[in-house]
Amino acid sequence: MVELIHLAIGDIAERLTGQTKVENIRKTLSNFFREENNRVSYQNVWIAEVFDEVTGMILTYSGAAASQLDKPLLERLRRKTRNQNMFFDQEADVGDLYIDTVSVSPKFQGYGIGTKLLWKAEELALQKGYERISLNVAKNNRYAKKLYNRIGYQEDKEIQINGHTYDYMVKRLKVHASGE
């Protein structure tokens, strides 16, 4: 899981962990993955498997809970750097179910696993009563942007995360009233 998260978020993992070496980044992410109530917790992850092999994952949480979920990572980082003024960029809007990370193992890419994971996140969002689901995609990631557009995500705004420009993409969901 941690390898897939790291592959997807790249240098944001360095920012979240305060580490630069791959093994240290993944060790720190792994520790947080095992714990509850933080951004990268196992609680927020859906896993795709084929014959007991992990093929991909998607990590989602409420945009309203983002700052609370960031708190354990931020507190650790502030202690490590002795800098109480550190902060993380706001990635998610309050009213959205936010897709923090979607990642498919390189050997399983091109088989529709990413699309199915996105549909799973949308299903989860509907179950929880969200009208919008959102994600960020790097400005230059044409392949991912094409996928997101194809399944209904639209660019909403540009945001900065860790010094990089991202398109904040949103999909409006059709929430059905009970009995429909």
Residues 97-122 pLDDT 10s: 999 999 999 999 999 999 999 999 99
| CB 96, CB 132: distance < 8 Å | yes
Q: Burial level of 153, CB count in 10 A (0-12/13-18/19+)?
A: buried
pLDDT at 177 over 80: no
Mean pLDDT, all residues of the chain? 94
% of the chain surpassing 70 pLDDT:
97
pTM of the predicted model as reported, rounded to 2 decimal places: 0.91
pLDDT per residue as tens digits for the range 19-74:
999 999 999 999 999 999 999 999 999 999 999 999 999 999 999 999 999 999 99
Q: How far apart (Å, rounded) are the C-alpha atoms in residues 154 and 171?
A: 6
Q: How far apart (Å, rounded) are the C-alpha atoms in residues 16 and 87?
A: 10
